[in-house]
């Protein structure tokens, strides 16, 4: 089922947490809401869930105006970071719970069969008789997903479901979640502040800042064509050099870059650490002096002073043989200029 938010606004007393957000989520799509803490992600998710009501705008589920439909009639399944399982119930009882209290009546045999199916879907077959305290954190979140799926939700809402788990488990679970989504095709809205998680999982990433959407697009679009400096910085390690625009050209230290469409005045030149090549040719890059070289398993991270006093970082091959004090030029492969 598709979901449409139309200029949705939410204010808490005098604080506006969500400013006129419009968003179309296609049926079967997995959309990630990504943004720093306090950017309004959870508030948007809670309004879609019906746990919070918008004080402006509308939310449609398919053709239906869902703005005033209460939470239990929306057909949504949730998995929240802190939406704990019932500790005194077994894993199987936790998964069965929603079906037992649902308006849709099922026989005990049907419920048992569905629990077994869900246990194998979330790769926990055989663990139904354990209690939540007897399984790992990652397994608990998989049970939480099985519980959310048990009542055949029209929409799945996930709020940092792997937030409390360590990095390797998170990575495994996100790949696993993506394959479950591909299998079931349930329209899914996923909240995270973890860029890699959003980029790994989602069909479309919606980036929020201070209650507003600043960009939305496929992972490739937001990575390759960030709409502004905030998005570029938020998505990953970024270097910044001051630039000065004059007549469609940007001067940065000894270099000039094309700056079509930018107005005369100050700008920022942003680039990724992976987009730098060290060169001895002054015509290729910005003059720089190496300050430190740090070793990584597959590369070297170089810190250099460029265009005067700005420290930039870049990645070089493990054979990079320069050291502190060496001078050269940094060739910037994908320079991006932004102005306020």
Stretch that binds ligand ATP, among 11-19, 89-97, 274-282, 330-338 (CB under 6 A): 11-19
Q: Does 53 bind ligand ATP (CB under 6 A)?
A: no
Strands 239-246 and 76-80: unpaired
| Min CB(157)–ligand ATP separation in Å | 13
All residues at 6 or more sequence positions from 17 whose CB lies less than 8 Å from its CB, including other chains: 10, 11, 40, 43, 211
Query: Among residues 21, 29, 39, 142, which is the contact residue for ligand ATP, using CB under 6 A?
Result: 39
Q: What angle do CA 79, 82, 86 make, to 5 degrees?
A: 80
| Min CB(2)–ligand ATP separation in Å | 23
Distance CA 265, CA 280 (A): 30
| Min CB(140)–ligand ATP separation in Å | 20
Q: Does 35 bind ligand ATP (CB under 6 A)?
A: yes
CA distances (Å), origin 161, targets 23, 100, 200, 202, 288: 22, 24, 15, 14, 43
Distance CA 106, CA 234 (A): 47
Q: Does 103 bind ligand ATP (CB under 6 A)?
A: no
- CA torsion angle for 175, 197, 20, 267 (degrees, to 10)? -140
Phi, psi of 260 (to 5 degrees): -60, 135
Question: Which tokens hold the place of 81?
Answer: 């970071």
Task: Please name which of 191, 150, 151, 154 lies closest in space to residue 60, comparing C-alpha atoms.
Answer: 154
Q: Does 48 bind ligand ATP (CB under 6 A)?
A: no
- Total number of residues binding ligand ATP (CB under 6 A)? 12
Query: Among residues 23, 25, 34, 41, which is the contact residue for ligand ATP, using CB under 6 A?
Result: 41
| Min CB(251)–ligand ATP separation in Å | 38
Nearer to ligand ATP, 42 or 216 (CB): 42
Q: Does 195 bind ligand ATP (CB under 6 A)?
A: no
Query: Among residues 8, 23, 34, 42, which is the contact residue for ligand ATP, using CB under 6 A?
Result: 42
Q: Is 207 exposed, middle or buried (0-12, 13-18, 19+ CB in 10 A)?
A: buried
Stretch that binds ligand ATP, among 30-38, 134-142, 165-173, 282-290 (CB under 6 A): 30-38
Stretch that binds ligand ATP, among 32-40, 170-178, 227-235, 268-276 (CB under 6 A): 32-40
- Kindly list the residues in this chain that would bind ligand ATP in the complex (CB under 6 A): 12, 15, 17, 35, 37-43, 193
């Amino acid at each position: 089922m598709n979901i449409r938010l139309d200029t949705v606004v939410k204010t808490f007393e005098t604080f506006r947490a969500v400013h006129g957000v419009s968003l179309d989520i296609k049926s079967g799509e997995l959309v990630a809401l990504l943004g720093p803490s306090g950017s309004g992600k959870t508030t948007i998710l809670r309004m879609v869930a019906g746990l919070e009501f918008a004080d402006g705008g509308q939310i449609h589920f398919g053709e239906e105006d869902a703005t005033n439909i209460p939470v239990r009639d929306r057909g949504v399944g949730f998995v929240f970071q802190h939406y704990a399982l019932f500790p005194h119930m077994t894993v199987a009882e936790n998964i069965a719970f929603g079906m037992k209290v649902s308006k849709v009546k099922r026989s005990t045999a049907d419920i048992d069969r569905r629990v077994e199916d869900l246990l194998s879907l979330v790769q926990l077959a055989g663990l139904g008789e354990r209690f939540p305290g007897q399984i790992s954190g990652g397994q608990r979140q998989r049970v939480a997903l099985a519980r959310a799926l048990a009542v055949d939700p029209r929409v799945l809402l996930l709020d940092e479901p792997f937030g409390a788990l360590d990095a390797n488990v998170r990575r495994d679970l996100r790949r696993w979640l993506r394959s479950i989504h591909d299998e079931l095709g349930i329209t899914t809205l996923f909240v995270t502040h973890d860029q890699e998680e959003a980029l790994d999982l989602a069909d479309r990433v919606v980036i929020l800042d201070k209650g507003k959407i600043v960009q939305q697009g496929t992972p490739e679009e937001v990575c390759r064509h960030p709409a502004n400096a905030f998005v570029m910085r938020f998505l990953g390690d970024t270097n910044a050099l001051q630039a000065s625009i004059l007549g469609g050209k940007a001067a940065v230290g000894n270099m000039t870059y094309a700056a079509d469409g930018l107005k005369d005045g100050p700008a920022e030149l942003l680039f990724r650490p992976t987009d730098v090549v060290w060169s001895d040719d002054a015509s290729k890059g910005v003059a720089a002096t190496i300050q430190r070289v740090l070793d990584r398993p597959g590369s070297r991270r170089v810190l250099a002073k460029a265009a005067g006093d700005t420290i930039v970082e870049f990645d070089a091959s493990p054979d990079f043989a320069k050291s502190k004090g060496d001078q050269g030029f940094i060739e910037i492969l994908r320079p991006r200029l932004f102005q306020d």
